[in-house]
Structure 1
Amino acid sequence: MDVRVILFRTLFSALLLTLASPGLAQSLTPSETQRVDRTVTATLAKSGVPSASIAIVRGGRIVYVKAYGKQAETGTTRDDAPYQIASISKQFTAAAILLLQRDGKLSLDDTVAKYVPGISGGETITIRQVLSHTAGLEDYWPQDYSFKAMATPVTPQQIVDRWAKKPLDFTPGTQWQYSNTGYVVVGMIVEKVSGQPLLDFLQTRVFKPLGITAYDQDLAIGPGFPQGYGRAALGPVRPVTPAAHGWLYAAGELSMSAKSLALWDVARLDRAVLTPEDWAAQETPVKLTDGTTNGYGLGVFTGAGNGHRFIEHSGEAVGFLSENIVYPDDKAAIVVLTNSWSNEAFKTLAQKLSGIVLKAPALDSADIAALAQARSVFDQIRSGTLDRSRLTENANFYFTATTLGDYRNSLAPLGTPRSFAQMGTARLRGGFVNRVYRVSYPGITLALSTYVEPGSNGKIEQFLIAPTQQ
């Protein structure tokens, strides 16, 4: 389960470098709304994913909610339909622990053995380590498919007995490894300390105060609910059989609409329900014993790219993939829920919608000058009139007559670019200043990577153009 969760976070910082965006505003403009509609519709058509439900937060409020495509074999497509959000649920489980700590009923630094006996290493593993995936407990669902036992109902204790009593994969605190097993343990702790089922506790302390409608995903099946789909290789898209009751529990038990999840994102931005200190605790990356971290806090990943901090988590349930990203400094968030687990359309949509919503970093005077130079050289190359005095020895070596001819013959027919913009911020590498540009034409988008000597008169060391996804 949730290999994509881990991979997505690794890729997301890089994907942010390709964002192009208008200035930040409170609401989506008519043009932006059209771009969102075109983006979602085209992505679903290309990917074969039956449906997507999205919500957009801008300026700290929800400005757009819409569902697209086929949510089930029968019924209508509804904007308020609750999709299974799977491991995005982990941040709610972590929030429950933080609330109980605030109540004085437990501590993040308590050992799990204090509440759940018999777990391997339970006398030394802390609740904080379990929430941050640094406890060493073996993951019970690493697969991206529903394995044999998942056809039979299971209890949290049965999951613990089968997986949490095995030898630890590593000494607690020394490594990071995604573990759904750990969150089952944490869910049991919430229920023991609060005296309530986990979902009931969240309903009282989180969902009702925020106006969120949330369901146990085991019960969000059948008429009126989105249906999960899958695909074997390049075969037809087919409905899939849900897992039996109990398998996601505190590791991913929730179903909710895109709007409801966006209400949680707004609460994060406003520091509502939890205290500011508890929100910060969730969003602070937990360090290993050697002082390193991969950016995971308590149920969320944190990171930054293209000048934007983000807090995010993905989710994978049987037949569903989802993404939730919050940009705290921008007062923005993107929710993407899809009902297929055989395509990364959820990731593509999150990246593209972020590009529409976020404010691009301002260019300084050096960036502006470099942009003008890059555009001038681009126009020379597509016309075959390259001024080689502006190139370094290595760049001149690269641009042979054949290479320059290929550039000219492939670019000239495209005509004048629709847009030519810097993506991300400049960075130093190998003694050069590296900048990346996106060159857009109808039907195709090009990525231009440049390395230039420092200074206003620096020569160009690299000028490489390649196609990229729009």
Structure 2
Amino acid sequence: MRYPTLLAAVALLAPAPLLAQALTPAENQKIDALVTKTLADTGVPSASIAVVRGGKIVLAKAYGKQFEGQKAPADPKLPYQIASVSKQFTAAAIQLLADQGKLSLDDTVSKYVPGITDGDQITLRQLLSHTSGLRDYWPQDYSFKAMATPTTPQGIVDRWAKAPLDFKPGTQWQYSNTGYVVAGMIVEKVSGQPLLQFLQTHVFRPLGMRALNQDKAVGPGFPQGYLRHALGPVRVETPAAPGWLYAAGELSMSPEDLAKWDVARMNRTLLPPKDWDEQETPVKLTDGSNTNYGLGVGVGTADGRRVVEHSGEAVGFLTENIVYPDDKAAVVVAVNAWFADAQSRIAKGISDIVLPAPEASAEDAAALDRTKRVYAQLQTGNLDRSLLTEDAAYYFTPTTLADYRTSLSPLGAPTKIEQSGRTRLRGGFVNRSYRVTYPGRMLRISTYAEPGPNGRIEQFLVSPAE
């Protein structure tokens, strides 16, 4: 049940929010082709997806074999085990209790659950942000021996939360399912209700979501999990015994139902806006470094867009949930296998299909044109030095120019030169990076320039890239 994030700090400028609009026939065809090919490539039996655009669910569809003996087409209404995507709901439960004045996120764990190692030093906020230091009870990507036997939250706490801490609370980020088990126990103690019942009352029913305990979402009529050993045959997976997921990942729901929660997130409904903001604010460590994780969700940017994201891994299931709040868009992908990367591959591919390409600013466009000219000049060895600052002119010695010419000239004209990173300021200069594409190889250009459309070049370095 690890959290293999998709977030990456690669960005251009973010576009305006998308209008609520149905997918075009061409977009639907591209998504169908993407999912079908991915399942065929990976051997994953089925995928169920939901797409939000303009704050509305515009697609919910399922593909492939959801269980043995299936005769009807794949059903997008069936609930898949979403595993660690459940964590944001546990975090919301804690926040709702804080809104009711029944606890504080800065309370220590020992106030509610006794016997936990250094519980008087661990706060609820640290539980939810994976900065508590509590040892993770399930770092493996397979069912370990104990998971064949039923357990309870207290059983998990007794074995893992009473072990020595992996680090002093707040000093490191380390994914900890154990921390969320403790958080779930706190919800139940403070609210006087089972965690799932609390969430049904305060979250799922108000949003019209169907959510189940994954331990009960097994058997006829439910998606079946699958495994694969190396490149061997795809086999039916044996579910874990009851009790192992709990507040760290106990929920099963359809991608369409999960998308309803994503819509509430982007529209700031159901929870108070401050709670959504709190979930999406990256927690910082004691040394000031950024964890890129809030309360139950990863936060960052991808292709210039703000992203709120979490993945999930259950026994036989993988899920990817990506929300683009400023674009009013989201992509949910659930698969009934816990091998390969089908869920992330499909989610990224759908995002590329339904989101418009980031728009570059006029200055970025001008800088790209200048980069193309300078690159061509370096291939010939005839560099226009009026474009350079004093430092860049110092760098480009006759030897440097000769090396650029002799190494780049044989490559000929590139297929494409495009900006590959976010425009940013550093040291009084504007920093941009570019990707140079040739058949069979890639180069990177790193530039610094004076601000303004006619700013002189301070740096222009070309290097190999993947």
Q: What residue number does 1:338 align with? A: 335
Question: Shift of residue 103 of structure 1?
Answer: 1.5
Task: Pick which of 56-65 and 458-467 moved more.
Answer: 458-467
Q: What residue number does 1:209 align with? A: 206
The yes-or-no answer on 1:40 pairing with 2:35 is yes
In the alignment, which of 215, 226, 237 is matched to residue 223 of structure 2?
Answer: 226
In the alignment, which of 362, 378, 389 is matched to residue 382 of structure 2?
Answer: 389
Counterpart mapping for 1:61-140 below 5 A: 61-75=56-70, 76=72, 77-140=74-137
C-alpha distance in 1 between matches for 2:209 and 2:359: 36
Question: Shift of residue 306 of structure 1?
Answer: 3.0
Task: Pick which of 208-217 and 448-457 moved more.
Answer: 448-457
Question: Shift of residue 396 of structure 1?
Answer: 4.5
The yes-or-no answer on 1:316 pairing with 2:309 is no
The yes-or-no answer on 1:400 pairing with 2:406 is yes
The yes-or-no answer on 1:26 pairing with 2:23 is no
C-alpha distance in 2 between matches for 1:349 and 1:313: 15
Deviation per residue, 1:229-272 (Å, 9 max, x gap):
22212222222111110000000000111100100000111111
Aligned-partner SS, 1:436: strand
User: What is the letter of the counterpart of residue 20 of structure 2?
Assistant: Q
- Structure 1 residues 229 and 404: alpha-carbon distance in aligned structure 2, compared to 1, 3 A threshold: farther
C-alpha distance in 1 between matches for 2:29 and 2:441: 22
Question: Shift of residue 436 of structure 1?
Answer: 2.8
Question: Shift of residue 71 of structure 1?
Answer: 1.7
- Structure 1 residues 433 and 19: alpha-carbon distance in aligned structure 2, compared to 1, 3 A threshold: closer
C-alpha distance in 2 between matches for 1:390 and 1:305: 35
Q: What residue number does 2:354 align with? A: 357
C-alpha distance in 1 between matches for 2:365 and 2:60: 36
Structure 1 gaps, min length 5: none
In the alignment, which of 124, 144, 148 is matched to residue 147 of structure 1?
Answer: 144
C-alpha distance in 1 between matches for 2:39 and 2:310: 21
Contact residue 22 and residue 358 of structure 1 kept, 8 A? no
C-alpha distance in 2 between matches for 1:157 and 1:67: 37
Deviation per residue, 1:422-453 (Å, 9 max, x gap):
4443357898853334869xxx8975532356
Aligned-partner SS, 1:64: strand
User: What is the letter of the counterpart of residue 363 of structure 1?
Assistant: A
Q: Taking structure 2 as the reference length, what is the TM-score of the superposition?
A: 0.86
In the alignment, which of 259, 266, 270 is matched to residue 269 of structure 1?
Answer: 266
- Structure 1 residues 438 and 94: alpha-carbon distance in aligned structure 2, compared to 1, 3 A threshold: farther
C-alpha distance in 1 between matches for 2:401 and 2:147: 57
Task: Pick which of 145-154 and 186-195 moved more.
Answer: 186-195
- Structure 1 residues 354 and 399: alpha-carbon distance in aligned structure 2, compared to 1, 3 A threshold: farther
C-alpha distance in 1 between matches for 2:275 and 2:328: 19
The yes-or-no answer on 1:59 pairing with 2:54 is yes
- Structure 1 residues 284 and 459: alpha-carbon distance in aligned structure 2, compared to 1, 3 A threshold: closer
Contact residue 423 and residue 430 of structure 2 kept, 8 A? no
C-alpha distance in 2 between matches for 1:459 and 1:247: 56
Question: Shift of residue 340 of structure 1?
Answer: 1.6
The yes-or-no answer on 1:434 pairing with 2:432 is yes
C-alpha distance in 1 between matches for 2:374 and 2:236: 52
- Structure 1 residues 52 and 278: alpha-carbon distance in aligned structure 2, compared to 1, 3 A threshold: same
User: What is the letter of the counterpart of residue 454 of structure 1?
Assistant: A
Counterpart mapping for 1:284-299 below 5 A: 284-299=281-296
- Structure 1 residues 458 and 185: alpha-carbon distance in aligned structure 2, compared to 1, 3 A threshold: closer
User: What is the letter of the counterpart of residue 186 of structure 2?
Assistant: I
C-alpha distance in 2 between matches for 1:244 and 1:94: 25
C-alpha distance in 2 between matches for 1:22 and 1:33: 22
C-alpha distance in 2 between matches for 1:390 and 1:224: 69
C-alpha distance in 2 between matches for 1:88 and 1:94: 11
In the alignment, which of 172, 175, 189 is matched to residue 175 of structure 1?
Answer: 172
Aligned-partner SS, 1:67: strand
User: What is the letter of the counterpart of residue 132 of structure 1?
Assistant: S
Question: Shift of residue 325 of structure 1?
Answer: 1.3
C-alpha distance in 1 between matches for 2:444 and 2:19: 30
Counterpart mapping for 1:230-309 below 5 A: 230-309=227-306
- Structure 1 residues 202 and 432: alpha-carbon distance in aligned structure 2, compared to 1, 3 A threshold: closer
C-alpha distance in 1 between matches for 2:102 and 2:426: 51
User: What is the letter of the counterpart of residue 109 of structure 2?
Assistant: V
Deviation per residue, 1:111-167 (Å, 9 max, x gap):
222222211112232211111111111111111111000001111111111111112
C-alpha distance in 2 between matches for 1:97 and 1:165: 22
Contact residue 432 and residue 451 of structure 1 kept, 8 A? no
Contact residue 13 and residue 361 of structure 2 kept, 8 A? no
Aligned-partner SS, 2:382: helix
Q: CA RMSD in A?
A: 3.1
User: What is the letter of the counterpart of residue 65 of structure 2?
Assistant: K
Aligned-partner SS, 2:422: strand
User: What is the letter of the counterpart of residue 434 of structure 2?
Assistant: V
Contact residue 20 and residue 423 of structure 1 kept, 8 A? no
C-alpha distance in 1 between matches for 2:59 and 2:341: 22
- Structure 1 residues 160 and 291: alpha-carbon distance in aligned structure 2, compared to 1, 3 A threshold: same
Q: What residue number does 2:197 align with? A: 200
Question: Shift of residue 316 of structure 1?
Answer: 0.6
Question: Shift of residue 192 of structure 1?
Answer: 1.4
